[in-house]
Amino acid sequence: MTDTSAPLRPRQWLLLGCFGMWLAFQVLFPLRHLLYPGSPSWTEQGHRFAWQMKLRDKDARATFVVRDPATGREWRVAPGRYLLRHQVREMESRPDMILQFAHHLARVWAHTHGVDGAEVRARVCASLNGRKAALLIDPDRDLARVERSLRHADWILPLQEPFARPEPRTGPLELAC
């Protein structure tokens, strides 16, 4: 019996290689949450496009403080002044969006108030799956100086409280911490 299969041509190898890389990406990208410390449900790092989507309930409330480092003057900022209600709800529980909003506030203060180098801090109280509310973001970090990156976000505080089945509630969740 003779072998009638011809060796693959360079174009076929290229197509096979591209398909292999696409397949590897489709398998590995949803697993990137394993590269970050902590719970991806809390930190949100590696959570988007992952296989465990929609497996958590997270509520949060955020307040922001913009500070002029030259004068020490501070402004308390309610996110609702700049975002729609549904945008505020989404932003308050997602650290990457909190960081984007802090950068936006720094730009707004530079443009409208003439405050170059404005410091932006956030106090975010969040509850994951019915846990008691806890700080999500380090309130002492100047978020305007934190660069957006794919590296571990050390400005996100770790989740401390283990999960315990919460008591049934009849009213809104208390988000004070």
Q: For the chain, what are the domain ranges?
A: 35-145
The pLDDT value given to residue 49: 67
Which residues, other chains included, contact 34 with Cβ-Cβ below 8 Å and sequence gap of 6+?
46
Angle at 175 between CA 174 and CA 177, to 5 degrees: 115
The answer to whether residue 73 scores a pLDDT higher than 90 is yes
Strands (E), 82-151: 119-128, 134-135
Q: Decide: residue 60, CB within 10 A, 0-12 exposed, 13-18 middle, 19+ buried.
A: buried
CA 45 to CA 151: how far, in whole Å?
9
CA 38 to CA 171: how far, in whole Å?
30
Collapsing DSSP to helix, strand or coil, 175 comes out as coil
The answer to whether residue 173 scores a pLDDT higher than 80 is no
Query: For the segment 94-144, what is each residue's pLDDT rounded down to a tens digit?
Result: 999 999 999 999 999 999 999 999 999 999 999 988 888 999 999 999 999
